[in-house]
Amino acid sequence: MRVALNARILQAPRTGIGQYVVALTEALRKQAGLDLELFLGTAWGADLPSEPLPGYSRRTSLAKRVPGAYRIRRWLEQSSFDRGLKHRQVDLYHEPTLWPLEFDGPMVMTLHDLTHVHYPQTQPADRLAEIERHVGRAVERAQSVLTDSEHVAGEVRRHFGLSEDRVIVAPLGCAARFHPRPYQALERTLSGLGLVAGQYLICVGTLEPRKNLELALQAHALLSASVRKGLPLVIVGMPGWRTEQLDDTLKTALAEGCVRMLGYQSDAVLAELIAGARVLLFPSLYEGFGLPVLEAMASGVPVVLTRTSSLPEVAGEAGVYVDAQDPQGMSVAIQRLMEDETLRQRCRTLGLERAKAFSWQRCARITSDVYRKVLGG
């Protein structure tokens, strides 16, 4: 069985879907009787790229100013995809994003979430138009649709009117680099960032409205001045806000060192940043899965999170839940985890145990079973 997997997303710095493509590819290659062909956007290849395309962010920024840029890029990618198919005997095509390329054969797609439905304001207008132009027809074309969680599976079935058996849940896994680490082992990396292990809170994720970062910022601001100075809030993710756009409260917190915005970090550094955190805050309004929650639990770090969308499926009883509109509640939860060692150890123990239930091997096994079912095997 030979499967073409669209890995074009790896041209960009790796965020959620990029991590999915990398980890799934590595796990699928351990499945017997399965060969993967990777389409990388401009060419085909056997190897996963170790770095994003040089200058990707600058090119993307320039493309946003070109009318019809998304359609032009899609035409170029389709042409490259078609040329490569002429030299490959591909049985099935797997698309991990919202807009599959044209393929004259069986197709499986992964819908990680329905952000474009629930939060269309977070998408550039031209990108949203392309999603709406392609995603409905793509779902109709797909023999099976994979999702990361039961929550999204239910949304997909209802929104697109799909039968139960066409939507399959393949929960994500956690990379081996996320595990408990002695604080002294983190000293070199953290000191270079001006941090001390166990003495900061962390938020991880691309900075956009649905991530609800304001909740974490407001909750942190409600802590006493001495606590805020001794326990800064560290924000890690692709830049979404510029300093001049921040309100006066946050500007003051940044100036005082109470909030640190570290931007995008490499996989290795991120794993150490999470392992060294006192608590992970995950204030999101909507998630298809919530990988940082799983990564924190696997690292032995307690999580304060909102009880929204798929997040309870991931954290289970290991998380400390708060309302997505309640900064006071999140602030109290932080304070409890700082002061109540019994609660902290309970969250740590339950989180480590909970994380064992998720693996990329399981995700790959479910995915390859879907491939075989689609191909009649």
Q: Which CATH superfamily is domain 2-173+359-374 in?
A: Glycogen Phosphorylase B; (3.40.50.2000)
Whether the pLDDT of residue 377 is over 90: the answer is no
Q: 183-355: which CATH number, 3.30.70.3270, 1.20.1090.10, 2.60.40.10, 3.40.50.2000?
A: 3.40.50.2000
Whether the pLDDT of residue 283 is over 70: the answer is yes
Q: pLDDT digit string (tens) for 220-230?
A: 999 999 999 99
The predicted pLDDT at position 243 comes to 45
**What's the whole-number mean pLDDT along residues 331-359?**
97
Banded model confidence at residue 134, pLDDT cuts 50, 70, 90? confident
Domain definitions of the chain by residue range? 2-173+359-374, 183-355
36-50, 172-186, 241-255, 290-304: least confidently modelled range: 241-255
**What's the whole-number mean pLDDT along residues 12-16?**
86
Q: Does 2-173+359-374 match 183-355 in CATH topology?
A: yes
Closest alpha carbon to 145 in 132, 127, 160:
160
